[in-house]
Amino acid sequence: MAQALVIKITGSTVGVLTSDGSVVDCHIKGNLRIAGIRSTNPVAVGDQVTVETQTDGTTWITTILPRRNYIIRRSTNLSKQSHILAANIDRLALVVTLNHPVTATTFIDRVLATAEAYNVPAMLIFNKTDLFTPDELQQQSELRALYESLGYQTVALSALHDDIAAIRSEFVGKTTLLSGNSGVGKSTLLNALFGETMTRTADISKAHDMGMHTTTFSEMYRLPEGGWVIDTPGIKGFGTLDMQKEEVGHYFREIFALSRQCRYSNCLHCGEPGCAVLPEVGQSVAPSRFDSYLSILTDADESKYR
């Protein structure tokens, strides 16, 4: 029995890096589940596992070691199935595009709220800046300013055309999960970081405003200077998981800060008397953020009936 790191998940097998530096394809024992997590994938990229090779030469993952953290989403809001994007990560870098394709602010906020809930630091990478009109660049600046004001680090770049050496240091020595909608340029950024083609990106000639789900499995890549970058398949919706209604506001930093002054400690900021949050919507709370907050509240409502 040996300890190994899960670096690649395909449909049927899991690639692990063993302590001697070799990559071995493993099978997963059917009963391998972590108690309390119902997910479509019992094992995630970034997991530390123990493996055992049998006499027939096949290697099996026998246990998953305790996770430091993980990021999990429901595939759709009403789905009971959930999916662990990655485990034991230092940071989530959400790749977003103002346009081509449009990343919805509700999507951004749902991911950020989940990162808050699971204690994973998050940053936003605004990609494809080369494609934007002055108006779009202005909108992008405003959006960046919004998230910066909330304490989230943001960068704007063109993964395809910029020399991204400047942001390389952000990734050294850390395990970073790249996530985002399909087509925003996660794999392009990864290839740019490594200075060579590590993974497939969508064909430029076929590029259009919809992602083509080019990356179909998750894989983590080691930077020569140390650190790991995880490329993941693009995701559409981001269903949040197991949030109590009263809890949702805790994961929106500005709402949480104001809510201490609400009259009721369980205020949902939906018209209760003495609410300190609602009057600030359109003032210190961006309407887009409050919309995202409400969208998660509505989900929490639905989950009661599931």
Ligand X SMILES: Nc1nc2c(ncn2[C@@H]2O[C@H](COP(=O)(O)OP(=O)(O)OP(=O)(O)O)[C@@H](O)[C@H]2O)c(=O)[nH]1
Binding site for Mg ion (CB under 5 A): 186-187, 214-215
Scanning 45-53, 66-74, 185-193, 266-274 for contacts with Zn ion by CB under 5 A, the matching segment is 266-274
Q: Which is nearer to ligand X, 211 or 249 (CB)?
A: 211
Q: Which of 101, 183, 239, 249 binds ligand X (CB under 6 A)?
A: 183
Q: Which is nearer to ligand X, 176 or 201 (CB)?
A: 201
Q: Which is nearer to ligand X, 46 or 211 (CB)?
A: 211
Scanning 60-68, 82-90, 195-203, 275-283 for contacts with Zn ion by CB under 5 A, the matching segment is 275-283
- Partner whose binding site includes residue 211, from Mg ion, Zn ion, ligand X, none (CB under 5 to 8 Å by kind): ligand X
Scanning 26-34, 176-184, 221-229, 265-273 for contacts with ligand X by CB under 6 A, the matching segment is 176-184
- Partner whose binding site includes residue 188, from Mg ion, ligand X, Zn ion, none (CB under 5 to 8 Å by kind): ligand X
Q: Which of 84, 275, 281, 285 binds Zn ion (CB under 5 A)?
A: 275
Q: Counting contacts by CB under 6 A, is residue 159 touching ligand X?
A: yes
- Partner whose binding site includes residue 184, from ligand X, Mg ion, Zn ion, none (CB under 5 to 8 Å by kind): ligand X
Q: Counting contacts by CB under 6 A, is residue 214 touching ligand X?
A: yes
CA atoms of 49 and 87, how far apart (whole Å): 11
Spatial CA neighbour of 286 closest among 146, 116, 111, 151: 146
CA atoms of 19 and 198, how far apart (whole Å): 22
- Partner whose binding site includes residue 269, from Zn ion, Mg ion, ligand X, none (CB under 5 to 8 Å by kind): Zn ion
Scanning 59-67, 80-88, 205-213, 258-266 for contacts with ligand X by CB under 6 A, the matching segment is 205-213
**Binding-residue pattern over the window 103 to 142 for ligand X, x denoting contact by CB under 6 A:** ------------------------xx-xx-----------
Which residues of the shown chain bind Zn ion in the complex (CB under 5 A)? 262, 267, 269, 275, 277
